[in-house]
Structure 1
Amino acid sequence: MSSFKLSKYAEQVSICYNQCKDKYNSLEISLNNFSRKLKKSLEDTFGEKVYNSDDDTFQSYLKRIHTYDLYLAMGMSTGNENAWEIFEDRFVPKINDFARYYADDEDIAEEVFAYTKSSLFVKIKKTGKPKIDSFNGRGSLESWLKVIVYREVIHHQKNRVKTTSLDNIVLGIEEDHETDVEMETISKIMTTGFQSINSKDKILLREYFILKKPERELAEKYHVHISTISRRLHKICDKLSNILIDLAQTEFDLGERDIKNMFREFSKSWHSNVSEILA
């Protein structure tokens, strides 16, 4: 991918590149390759408008890209040993923390930790490059890893449920099919409900409830007062609650008490129902 569109900002890109090199004592990434990766990240994040901006505006765009993390990920993608050592020291403990935070039990946490760590350098068939190469700096590397761990926890927990069900069949243990039907109904309601809200609201819910970003950080990101974020979250949740209740009543003919009981059960295992929608 040509990076000629960045030529008018060559000085700023060069300064950014040298800052990354200085921070990590060079990871053998060329300026040309860094520029290509940065160009894609800027386009993915801000679109073509980034090339029509003046120097100050471009600099503001550049600051919103996590260039240090981007440079480190590029080094990891090329197999640079120093890059992987830095990652091992700074980020691997975080992967472990995330896995233990999201997982229901220690066994799943250990499985997810081991799998996530090893999967980052496995090449993806579609691109022929390791998974870490898909990081583009739009968010921090820590947040990117947190989402990956979260999804893996859900995947492993679902597989664990399937395995348990199979064991029950083999051992002749009767399952509570009424509960299964109930959870299936809840899943349908939740899936339909979450799909009815717009993408911006989903992103905010994901950042707040899954990535656990504080309101202060979200306010800074969206350039609004913290109270605006708080009001927006309440508004989205109120809207979603009304949608879910309406669906439960109109589509599934459930009474108020049934709805409350089902949502109470849902709150115990909500990750397995709507995680993919938010994540």
Structure 2
Amino acid sequence: MGNGLGLVATLVTQARGRIAPPDDAAVLEGLLGHAWNASREKWPGVDLSAELFVRHLAERLPEVSPGSPLAPVLESLSLAELYLACACAQGLPLATRLFETHYLAKLPGMLGYLKQPSAALDDICQLTRVKLLVRTPESGPRINDYTGRGALMSWVRVTAVRIALKLQAADKPEPEEDVAELIEALPAPGRDAELDLIRQRHQAELRQAIRDAFSALSSDERHLLRLYFVDKLSTTELGALLRVNQSTVSRWLKSARQTVHDETRRHLRARLNLSAAGFQSFLDVLDSQLDLSISQLFGEEDRLAGERGLEARGGAEPGPVMKR
């Protein structure tokens, strides 16, 4: 591992007061050393010192309450991808080639649902590359903004979508009704003891039913829901991005959400042996949690995709470099 001494001191100093010196410094020293080693193994040939990696990590750690363990925080981060991002920010040529091969090269396929001409997609991808990897007189490369919270591919895709949106800013539609006016306000979770009891007893069945319901969505509907619930694009932004008016986007969102609701209801009815009254109460729970569950499922997909991608790439040789 090399000289890993003092990693905890580096972490605490570079975090600038957001974390306190831990009581179990020796244990944390070992965790940081292991994180560095494991990350290097995922990207053979990309060599960062342990101190440099830990400094980069410390600057992006969320604030932790005094006395709270840091191990769960570290485990929640995509450390191997944060390592690659740090190496790219340092300008290491191999890291840049790996980032282009395993991330930027996938953007055209991932952005196909935007229905942009090939030339426009090329522009979006090249602008994304420049924004993320090129240092300017005013600032370093924007890949420095990646914090490790979530899959790197998802973060890159969101950056590209934002660039696509800016390129179409001149085509803004007239403001119309927002989706919030089309989708009725949902009751807040925990509004009575009966719903709380049903939620606790059948939480697993509810989440699985929503997962199954997603299979009924088209790829375009999934992308639309992801842009709205995960990327937090407004209906106005979505209209500009997809070259339709805002009311059309609102109808699409309402239809996709209704499909998830109806399919979830069908799966639940087949699985649960509830009375008519009990099933109606369960549907109230479904309504109260549907939007949150959709966001959570996309988050799980991104995390699992990132983990599978890292496993598949372990030890892989760099492929062709994205055209510049």
Residue 184 of structure 1: which of 159, 174, 179 is its match? 174
CA contact (8 A) 2:128 2:160 kept: yes
Letter in 1 for 2:67: N
* 1:97 equivalent in structure 2: 109
Question: Using the alignment, how far apart are the partners of 2:155 and 2:135 within structure 1?
Answer: 18
**For the structure 1 residues 95 and 265, does the alpha-carbon distance in structure 2 shift closer, same or farther, using more than 3 Å as the test?**
closer
* 1:52 equivalent in structure 2: 67
Map 1:1-279 onto structure 2 (within 5 A): 2-4=10-12, 5=20, 8=25, 9-43=28-62, 47-49=63-65, 52-54=67-69, 58-123=70-135, 128-159=139-170, 161=171, 183-186=173-176, 189-190=177-178, 225=204, 227-228=206-207, 263-264=247-248, 267=251
SS in structure 1 of the partner of residue 134 of structure 2: coil
CA contact (8 A) 2:179 2:250 kept: no
> How far apart are 1:41 and its partner, in Å?
2.9
CA contact (8 A) 2:11 2:54 kept: yes
Question: Using the alignment, how far apart are the partners of 1:106 and 1:184 within structure 2?
Answer: 27
SS in structure 2 of the partner of residue 93 of structure 1: helix
SS in structure 1 of the partner of residue 88 of structure 2: helix
CA contact (8 A) 2:178 2:250 kept: no
Question: Using the alignment, how far apart are the partners of 1:100 and 1:262 within structure 2?
Answer: 21
CA contact (8 A) 2:46 2:87 kept: yes
Letter in 1 for 2:162: R
**For the structure 1 residues 265 and 15, does the alpha-carbon distance in structure 2 shift closer, same or farther, using more than 3 Å as the test?**
closer
Question: Using the alignment, how far apart are the partners of 1:269 and 1:125 within structure 2?
Answer: 41
SS in structure 1 of the partner of residue 175 of structure 2: helix
Question: Using the alignment, how far apart are the partners of 1:106 and 1:269 within structure 2?
Answer: 26
Q: Which segments of 5 or more consecutive residues in structure 2 lack a partner in the other structure?
A: 1-8, 13-19, 186-202, 214-224, 226-244, 255-294, 296-324
TM-score, normalising length: structure 1:
0.56
Question: Using the alignment, how far apart are the partners of 1:141 and 1:29 within structure 2?
Answer: 19
> How far apart are 1:12 and its partner, in Å?
0.3
Question: Using the alignment, how far apart are the partners of 2:131 and 2:93 within structure 1?
Answer: 17
> How far apart are 1:91 and its partner, in Å?
1.1
Which of 1 and 2 has higher RCO (CA within 8 Å, sep 6+)? 2
> How far apart are 1:185 and its partner, in Å?
3.4
**For the structure 1 residues 229 and 131, does the alpha-carbon distance in structure 2 shift closer, same or farther, using more than 3 Å as the test?**
farther
**For the structure 1 residues 26 and 15, does the alpha-carbon distance in structure 2 shift closer, same or farther, using more than 3 Å as the test?**
farther
Question: Using the alignment, how far apart are the partners of 1:193 and 1:41 within structure 2?
Answer: 37
TM-score, normalising length: structure 2:
0.49
Alignment size in residue pairs: 189
CA contact (8 A) 1:112 1:153 kept: yes
**For the structure 1 residues 32 and 229, does the alpha-carbon distance in structure 2 shift closer, same or farther, using more than 3 Å as the test?**
farther
Question: Using the alignment, how far apart are the partners of 2:147 and 2:249 within structure 1?
Answer: 38
> How far apart are 1:93 and its partner, in Å?
1.8
CA contact (8 A) 2:179 2:253 kept: no
**Per-residue displacement from partner, 1:76-115 (whole Å, max 9, x unpaired)?**
1111011011112211221222333324332321210121
SS in structure 2 of the partner of residue 110 of structure 1: helix
User: Percent identity at matched positions?
Assistant: 19
Question: Using the alignment, how far apart are the partners of 1:269 and 1:102 within structure 2?
Answer: 15
Question: Using the alignment, how far apart are the partners of 2:104 and 2:206 within structure 1?
Answer: 35
Question: Using the alignment, how far apart are the partners of 1:226 and 1:184 within structure 2?
Answer: 42
Letter in 1 for 2:88: M
> How far apart are 1:17 and its partner, in Å?
0.5
CA contact (8 A) 1:37 1:136 kept: no
Letter in 1 for 2:68: S
**For the structure 1 residues 36 and 86, does the alpha-carbon distance in structure 2 shift closer, same or farther, using more than 3 Å as the test?**
same
CA-based RMSD of the aligned residues comes to 3.9
Question: Using the alignment, how far apart are the partners of 1:97 and 1:112 within structure 2?
Answer: 12
Letter in 1 for 2:129: K
> How far apart are 1:60 and its partner, in Å?
3.0
